[in-house]
Amino acid sequence: MLGRTANGLYWMFRYIERAENSARLIDAGLRMALTRSEATEGDWDGVLQSAGVRELYDEVHETLTSIDAIDFLLRDRANPSSVMSCIEAGRHNARMVRTALTRETWEATNECYLEMKAVLSKKARPTDMPEIIDTIKRRAGLIRGAFHGTMLRNEIFNFSRIGTFIERADNTARILDVKYYVLLPAVAAVGSSMDNVQWESILRSVSAHRAYGWVYDAELRPANIADFLISNGRMPRSLAYCYEKIASNLGYLEREYGERHAAHDTADRTLASLRSQSIKDIMDEGLHEYLEDFISHNNRLGQEISDGYRFN
């Protein structure tokens, strides 16, 4: 396969993953706004931070309002992580690697783009938001379904999956890092209802508020939330799950090519530490430092994969 094609697949799936993540963050933000009586601009501050676009927002807007924040996350082309920017970039990459995709996967991606372009052609009214979020999730689900149902499990599949999980690990780590202080033991002891809202919003940001209850006590506990999102190998957005998948897809490539790169060692090392470290150790040593470290290693892995497989 061409190095450029591997690169295109990797980024196509990173962008689609990011589009969904941005939509989920908006969803969590809206939900938080609903559960309060007073003004909620402060919550959007956190949402923008989770999306990693807080500073960019300030370059475009003078004040922080929920309407502007939603528009910025949803459809602003100036924000490369907005839902529309990501869908456009994902589809652009898909066009570049069209010969590597099944007709079903391409069409699902193209139709996602066509529908979202129509839906997001003008500023969304607050009353339309639930339907818009729903459309994004449904469209992303259709791409995933077409991809899983029709693609051969070969190198094309591996590079696509690696892109998906590098992006997802990055997203989950950022969400946790932005809210790390509400998970600290000292704060947890307070256990105010305010924190409950924050904790729930973390779970909603990763679509895990229901699943949490299946695994842990119904009551939200910070250590359990962190454990769920970092170490739980069955939670599809946890760092451990993402790295299981990254390592196994890299493993397929290693066996098929008969070639091992720096990326393999990095991924295996990260996975081993995710498996062995307890959440207590992580919290004791500093959640924030741990996550910062993780994000930078994750970025480095992306670069090593790009180098090893001659993306450019």
Partner 1 sequence: MVKNKGTTPLAFDEMMNADSSPRQPYSTYHEWYASQDRNRLIAKSKEAENIFRKTGITFAVYGHADSSEKLIPFDLIPRIISGREWRKLAQGIEQRVIALNAFLDDIYHKQEIIRAGRVPRELIEKNVAFLPQMIGFRPPGGVYTHIVGTDIVRTGEDQFYVLEDNARTPSGVSYMLENRETMMQMFPELFHQNRVRPVENYPNLLRQSLASLAPPGCSGKPRVAVLTPGIYNSAYYEHAFLADMMGVELVEGSDLRVIDGKVKMRTTRGYEAIDVLYRRVDDDFLDPLTFRPDSALGIPGIMDVYRAGNITIANAPGTGISDDKAIYSYMPEIVEFYTGRKPLLENVPTWRCSEPQSLKYVLEHLEELVVKEVHGSGGYGMLVGPTASKKERAVFAEKLKARPTNYIAQPTLSLSTVPILVNKGIAPRHVDLRPYVLVSDKVQIIPGGLTRVALKAGSLVVNSSQGGGTKDTWVLED
Q: How far is CA 294 from CA 139, 222, 244, 301, in A?
A: 30, 19, 15, 10
Question: Residue 192, SS3?
Answer: coil
Of 61-69, 78-86, 91-99, 202-210, the segment contacting partner 1 by CB under 8 A is 91-99
Q: Is 15 among the residues that bind partner 1 (CB under 8 A)?
A: no
Q: Is 1 among the residues that bind partner 1 (CB under 8 A)?
A: yes
Residue 173: how many other CB atoms lie within 10 Å: 22
Contact with partner 1 (CB under 8 A) among 45, 54, 61, 96? 96
Of 20-28, 60-68, 92-100, 169-177, the segment contacting partner 1 by CB under 8 A is 92-100
CB of 96: closest distance to partner 1 in angstroms?
Answer: 5
| Sequence-separated (6 or more) residues with CB below 8 Å from residue 37 | none
Q: Is 78 among the residues that bind partner 1 (CB under 8 A)?
A: no
Q: Is 255 among the residues that bind partner 1 (CB under 8 A)?
A: no
Of 66-74, 89-97, 264-272, 273-281, the segment contacting partner 1 by CB under 8 A is 89-97
Q: Which two tokens stand for residue 117?
A: 């372009």
Q: Is 31 among the residues that bind partner 1 (CB under 8 A)?
A: no
Contact with partner 1 (CB under 8 A) among 128, 257, 296, 307? 257
Q: Is 261 among the residues that bind partner 1 (CB under 8 A)?
A: no
Dihedral angle computed from the Cα positions of residues 284, 294, 136 and 203, in that order, rounded to the nearest 10 degrees: -10
Which one-letter DSSP state was computed for residue 123? P
Q: Is 259 among the residues that bind partner 1 (CB under 8 A)?
A: yes
| Sequence-separated (6 or more) residues with CB below 8 Å from residue 43 | 29, 32, 33, 36, 201
CA-to-CA distance for 59 and 230, rounded, in angstroms? 33
Q: Is 2 among the residues that bind partner 1 (CB under 8 A)?
A: yes
Question: Residue 6, SS3?
Answer: helix
Q: Is 307 among the residues that bind partner 1 (CB under 8 A)?
A: no
Of 2-10, 22-30, 70-78, 143-151, the segment contacting partner 1 by CB under 8 A is 2-10
Across 95-112, b (16+ Cβ under 10 Å) vs e yields ebbeebbeebbbebbeeb
Q: Is 310 among the residues that bind partner 1 (CB under 8 A)?
A: yes
Site residues (vs partner 1, CB under 8 A): 1-6, 92, 95-96, 98-99, 103, 106-107, 110-111, 114, 155, 159, 253, 257, 259, 309-310
